[in-house]
Chains A and B, each alone.
Chain A
Amino acid sequence: MELSTPDSDQRAFRNTGYGLRLVVLCILSIAVMVLDHNNEHLKSMRQILSAAVHPIRLIIDAPFSLGHWIGDSAATRDELTEENRRLTEQNLIQSARLQRYVALEAENARLRALLDSTAKVSGRVLIGEIMSVDMNPFRHRITINKGSNDGAYVGQALIDADGIIGQVVRDQFFSAEALLITDIDHALPVEIVRSRLRTIAMGSGDLERLTLPFLPRNADVVDGDILVTSGLGGTFPPGYPVGIINKISGDRGEPFLIVSAQPAASLNRIREVLLIWPDPDAAQRAAADDQDSPAASLPDEASGEQP
């Protein structure tokens, strides 16, 4: 370590005005924070900055993607045969289920027509990958590699094969930030399948647990009840699995039960997510926006899209 260097000369350094600079930047930081806290004001600034740091994200993500790619490439023939067999089997089972589902959907549409209510059809979906970039470790947030360029929007629901994962909270050009359902700030309108009781599932800050704090003591809820999205609030389309109730307790004096549920999706192991456009009109608009994008939409039979 050098003790005395020309540029650390006290006289030369005295009047550079760094104290003033600190005051200005502090005020600027506070102004930016206040504006950002009220969310929408600095959206474009954040989008531009996020595009600027996107290369860093790609560089961090690269070794992990490479690892996955090598893992896939180095799989032996036997493993691939085995996986292929398993997937074929799964495909067969699900096709069989889907046949029944088509019949049920038709029947449902017929019954709804009798009741004069419109059937809800799920719209377009898009597969996004979670980038291996850690966000603030104290929040349950993820970065996905699809952004507003691909049509993602704030409030969009994310699902995987097992159930609801979360929703997009910030759409940037090439990536989007999503809040998981277990984040402590997240609340999700749910319905208990068995009793059709509607309530709210809140995040607990623990990836394995959701809490349902608003169930009264006489609520019809038992261990093992399945929770699905109720579709209230409009963010999440109805009927997607959310979790399974695994703990019910409550003191006699308390007005509400303490109920917790295990999320249906294994939130700490996901790599791919599905972005869904629940509103068919919005889906068509988004599809029209980027028709030539190859990953833009799954085939119709997979997404259940209807013209």
Chain B
Amino acid sequence: MSRHSAPHWPVWLVLIGAIALVSLPLPGFMTPFRPPWAAIAIIYWVMMWPRVFGVGSAWIIGLLLDVMQGELLGQNALALSVISYLTLRFHLQIRIFPLWQLTMTVFALLSINAFILFWIDGVAGNPPAGFARWTQVLVGGILWPPVMAIMDRIRERIENRSSTFYVPR
């Protein structure tokens, strides 16, 4: 029952860290290779802690991301809540996938995310982001296995530490 008692705030820190990573200044030529960190983090935590993180928290993170990026308010919020819904809906299936299949799923989810953003840009009349948005999806998919390994470490630490507090002696 560790994850019910585990504190949530470290995960919020991780999610806010993901927003910060999206806004971290990089030289211009790196733009096409910046993975969509916030979407990746949301997918992971919704998949692993579906009772704690869901559509609502994804929406809040998306809204903060919109403000940070100066984009249309609600754009990332919509995209992230849709992919968090899909993750939530299929989290039992996704979790038992072998790693390559899981990576493909994440790749598909990130593509949906990028497509929603692309679509809203089009409807709102913003200039199209071009090819870079799709290379970002590709980079995000490729980085999924190492990122997942790091996140697993973080999650284990959070869960184990909290369980030591609650174990009856």
Which chain A residues have a beta carbon within 8 Å of chain B's beta carbons? Answer: 1-3, 5-8, 10, 13, 16, 18-19, 21-22, 25-26, 28-33, 35-37, 42, 45-46, 49-50, 52-53, 56-57, 59-60, 64, 132-139, 141, 143, 170, 177, 184-185, 205, 268
Contact = CB atoms under 8 A, between A and B. Distances in A.
A29 B96 contact: no
Contacts of B49: 7
Minimum-distance CB pairs A-B, first 9 = A32-B74, A29-B78, A36-B73, A138-B129, A33-B74, A29-B74, A137-B31, A22-B85, A49-B67
B72 interface: yes
Contacts of A137: 28, 31, 34, 132
Interface residues of B, number: 54
A288 B12 CA distance: 42
A184 B127 contact: yes
B85 A19 contact: yes
Contacts of A42: 73
Contacts of B157: none
B25 A64 contact: yes
Given A18-B85, A21-B54, A22-B82, 7 more contacts: A1-B96, A7-B3, A29-B78, A53-B67, A57-B68, A136-B69, A136-B70
A134 B85 contact: no
Contact of A134 (B1, B25, B127, B152): B25
A30 B78 contact: yes
Interface in B21-67: 22-26, 28, 31, 34, 49-51, 54-56, 59, 62-64, 67
Given A7-B50, A26-B78, A32 B91 contact: no
Interface of B: 1, 3-4, 16, 19-20, 22-26, 28, 31, 34, 49-51, 54-56, 59, 62-64, 67-75, 77-78, 81-82, 85, 88-89, 91-92, 95-96, 120, 124, 126-130, 132-133, 152
B56 A33 contact: no
Contacts of A19: 85, 89
Contact of A25 (B3, B67, B81, B132): B81
Given A18-B54, A33-B78, A59-B20, A52 B73 contact: no
B129 to A, nearest CB: 4
Contacts of A2: 95
